Amino acid sequence: MAGPQTAIGDSIGLAVKMFKDSNVTDRMLIVMSDGDDTGSKVPPLTAAKLAKQNHVTVYTIAMGDPKNAGEHPIDTKTLKEIASMTGGKFYYAYNSEELRQIYDEIDKLKPKEVKTITYRPKFDLFYYPLLSAIVLLLGYGAVRVMQSRKESV
């Protein structure tokens, strides 16, 4: 998040800076927006040029009501240009199901193998603390019973 307003240009610029500072080989960015840049200091298309120069592929996803013609209409033209300039692709998600399909498609475009090391115990270990807690509770109960018997005598 680059700020409280829609700051597409600043967000792309920030991502490019983060990619520069990292050793990531596949530089891919997903921008999900209504396309209406209301708060950037860097214009979105200028940021897209910067992304292209730094080999960052930008995939854009437009969301919102396409019939919105009010103060902040959907700007698919800018999102299409950003994707086109950087070698990415433009998508439009009308609902959450389409958004899921878009993410599935993007995942297939840039698959990445990741080595993971996992450890899974062969037997459960929670019995030991559970048994300890039960023994402590029974011991505490026995001490309380003994004290109450001494006090009543």
Per-residue pLDDT of the chain (153 residues; tens, 9 = 90+): 444 567 888 999 999 999 988 888 788 999 998 877 777 888 889 999 999 999 999 999 998 776 765 566 678 889 999 999 999 999 998 888 999 999 999 888 876 677 778 887 788 888 899 999 999 999 999 999 999 888 876
Q: Which residue stretches of the chain are H helix?
A: 8-20, 44-53, 76-86, 96-109, 127-152
CATH number of the domain within which 88 lies = 3.40.50.410
Alpha-carbon distance of 83 to 17, in angstroms, equals 18
**Domain assignment present for 48:** yes
Could you tell me the two tokens for 24? 């990531």
Alpha-carbon distance of 110 to 131, in angstroms, equals 49
* Residue carrying structure tokens 């070698």: 87
Question: Coil, strand, or helix at residue 32?
Answer: strand
**Domain assignment present for 80:** yes
**Domain assignment present for 125:** no
**Domain assignment present for 147:** no
Q: Which domain holds residue 74?
A: 8-109
Q: pTM to 2 decimals?
A: 0.66
Task: Please state the domain count of the chain.
Answer: 1
Question: Coil, strand, or helix at residue 60?
Answer: strand
In eight-state DSSP terms, residue 31 is E
Q: CB within 8 A of 25, min separation 6: which ones? A: none
